[in-house]
């Protein structure tokens, strides 16, 4: 199991912790659970892979604290068991905050690997199946071009590409492409020939506009709250001009090009699906904002300081009606990209 240490979720077990506020993430995974099982049943061929000590090695890239990673592992292991009936899954044992909630009846050992998933984490040809859910939307860094004062790529007064110009969106896309090149190169070294990688991330059908991203109204509201705070003298304008959220959502066409450019994987399945069950009702903005706080509080705190965080989220919460109106009028339904790759 590995996480990206650059942009961590809120830890601990408090009211604003990831462990207490990750229901939407697990719902999104549940939507594609049957796809995962089908992919393993059809494409994961244990008999063609090489093993040592009858061990299947599985890695979850970008896992956070809380139960979601264990739910995902349970689903994956059940799918493998269903196909092969009886397999043991030993891993080295390790201990940290995440592992205090390991299921007592698990059929595997678990280890935590420090470092970013944008670099090498495991020995060459050592992993049989890799899984990553809602982690690859995090860029490895904020693109430097966004801070180029006076250029077309200076994202002055904006905090994200979904509420900015095409030039800004292109800069984000270029950084995502660089990151995925690094990611695929590292995974190509680590995954055994014939091994599988399952990726779940924010994504939209080809041709969908950036402004139709369901995250756009929330980023817009955060942006307006920050600008309001500038007018009140609570923060400096320069602080907003130099702040950009390192998040990006991709499309099937874009991802297919990146996989093809790497050349080490075959695309076995790729499709866009909803992030939430269709019968789950309309999104509740205050509840979603709590989830955004879990993921973004650390980034806001690092840049603006901890004193303004409560004010920022309270002001954004007060814009709930505006956010709801934007969601209803222009945004596509919440969507995610489901991708199954096989190592050549």
pLDDT digits (tens, 9 = 90+) for 165-220: 999 999 999 999 999 999 999 999 999 999 999 999 999 899 999 989 989 999 99
> For residue 90, what pLDDT is reported?
38
Where is pLDDT greater, at 195 or 113?
195
CA nearest neighbour of 276 among 219, 220, 332, 205: 332
CA nearest neighbour of 17 among 309, 276, 290: 290
11 pLDDT above the threshold of 90:
no
313: left (phi over 0), alpha (psi -120 to 50) or beta: alpha
Q: Provide φ and ψ at 141, rounded to 5°.
A: -165, 165
> For residue 60, what pLDDT is reported?
81
CA nearest neighbour of 85 among 28, 29, 46: 46
- Count of other CB atoms within 10 angstroms of residue 229: 19
> For residue 276, what pLDDT is reported?
63
CA nearest neighbour of 59 among 153, 156, 187: 187
> For residue 96, what pLDDT is reported?
45
> For residue 72, what pLDDT is reported?
74
Mean pLDDT along residues 30-44: 80
Where is pLDDT greater, at 11 or 196?
196
Pick the CATH number of 23-343 from 3.40.50.2300, 3.40.1670.10, 3.40.30.10, 3.40.50.150: 3.40.50.150
The angle subtended at Cα 312 by Cα 219 and Cα 161, nearest 5°, is 20
Cα–Cα distance for residue pair 300/283, rounded to 1 Å = 24
Residue length of the chain = 344
Share of the chain above pLDDT 70, in %: 77
52 pLDDT above the threshold of 60:
no
Where is pLDDT greater, at 96 or 29?
29
61 pLDDT above the threshold of 50:
yes
Residue 92 — very low, low, confident or very high, per pLDDT cuts 50/70/90?
very low
Share of the chain above pLDDT 90, in %: 53
Mean pLDDT along residues 86-94: 38
Q: What's the whole-number average pLDDT of the chain?
A: 83
Mean pLDDT along residues 23-30: 63
85 pLDDT above the threshold of 60:
no
pLDDT digits (tens, 9 = 90+) for 294-337: 889 999 999 999 999 999 999 999 999 999 999 888 888 768 99
> For residue 86, what pLDDT is reported?
36
103 pLDDT above the threshold of 90:
no
> For residue 175, what pLDDT is reported?
97
pLDDT digits (tens, 9 = 90+) for 221-252: 999 999 999 999 999 999 999 999 999 999 99
Q: What is the pTM assigned to this prediction?
A: 0.79
**Residue 174, token pair as written in the block:** 């270029």
**Paired sense of beta strands 335-343 and 58-60, if any:** unpaired
Cα–Cα distance for residue pair 320/215, rounded to 1 Å = 13
CB neighbour class for 269 (10 Å; exposed up to 12, middle 13-18, buried from 19): middle
Where is pLDDT greater, at 16 or 56?
56
pLDDT digits (tens, 9 = 90+) for 251-282: 999 999 999 999 999 999 999 987 665 556 56
> For residue 94, what pLDDT is reported?
38
Using the Cα atoms of residue 13, residue 18, residue 22 and residue 28 in order, give the sign of their dihedral: negative
Most confident of 77-81, 94-98, 240-244: 240-244
86: left (phi over 0), alpha (psi -120 to 50) or beta: beta
Counting Cα atoms < 13 Å in the Cβ hemisphere of 197 gives: 25
Is residue 228 within 8 Å of residue 151, measured between CB atoms? Answer: no
> For residue 9, what pLDDT is reported?
53
How far out from the chain centre does Cα 65 lie? 14
CA nearest neighbour of 135 among 60, 191, 31: 60
β-strand partners of 342: 196, 266
63 pLDDT above the threshold of 90:
no
Domain segments of the chain as ranges:
23-343
Cα–Cα distance for residue pair 102/165, rounded to 1 Å = 44
The set of residues, in sequence order, having a beta carbon less than 8 Å from that of 213 and lying 6+ positions away, is 162, 202, 204, 249, 331, 332
Cα–Cα distance for residue pair 130/135, rounded to 1 Å = 13
């Amino acid at each position: 199991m590995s996480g990206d240490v650059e942009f961590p979720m809120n830890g601990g077990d408090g009211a604003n912790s990831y462990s207490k506020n990750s229901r939407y993430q697990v719902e999104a995974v549940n939507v594609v659970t049957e796809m995962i099982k089908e992919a393993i049943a059809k494409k994961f061929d244990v008999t063609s892979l090489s093993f040592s000590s009858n061990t299947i090695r599985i890695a979850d890239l970008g896992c956070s604290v809380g139960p979601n990673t264990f739910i995902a592992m349970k689903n994956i292991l059940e799918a493998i068991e269903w196909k092969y009936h009886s397999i043991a899954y030993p891993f080295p044992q390790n201990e940290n905050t995440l592992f205090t909630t390991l299921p007592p009846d698990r059929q595997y050992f678990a280890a935590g690997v420090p470092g970013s998933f944008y670099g090498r984490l495991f020995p060459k040809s050592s992993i049989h199946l890799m899984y990553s859910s809602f982690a690859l939307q995090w860029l490895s860094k904020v693109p430097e071009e966004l801070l180029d004062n006076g250029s077309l790529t200076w994202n002055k007064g904006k905090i994200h590409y979904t509420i900015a110009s095409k030039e800004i969106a292109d800069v984000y896309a270029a950084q995502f492409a660089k990151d995925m090149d690094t990611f695929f190169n590292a995974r190509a070294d680590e995954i055994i020939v014939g091994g599988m990688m399952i990726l779940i991330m924010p994504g939209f059908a080809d041709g969908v506009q950036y402004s139709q991203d369901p995250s756009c109204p929330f980023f817009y509201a955060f942006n307006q709250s920050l600008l309001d705070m500038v007018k009140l003298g609570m923060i400096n304008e320069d602080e907003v001009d130099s702040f950009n959220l390192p998040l990006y959502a991709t499309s099937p066409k874009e991802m297919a090009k990146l996989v093809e450019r790497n050349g080490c994987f075959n695309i076995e399945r790729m499709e866009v699906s909803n992030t939430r069950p269709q019968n789950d009702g309309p999104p509740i903005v205050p509840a979603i904002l709590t989830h955004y706080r879990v993921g973004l509080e650390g980034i806001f705190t690092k840049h603006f300081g901890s004193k303004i965080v409560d004010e920022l989220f309270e002001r954004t919460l007060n814009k709930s009606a505006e956010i709801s109106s934007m969601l209803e009028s222009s945004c596509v339904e919440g969507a995610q990209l489901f991708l199954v790759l096989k190592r050549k």
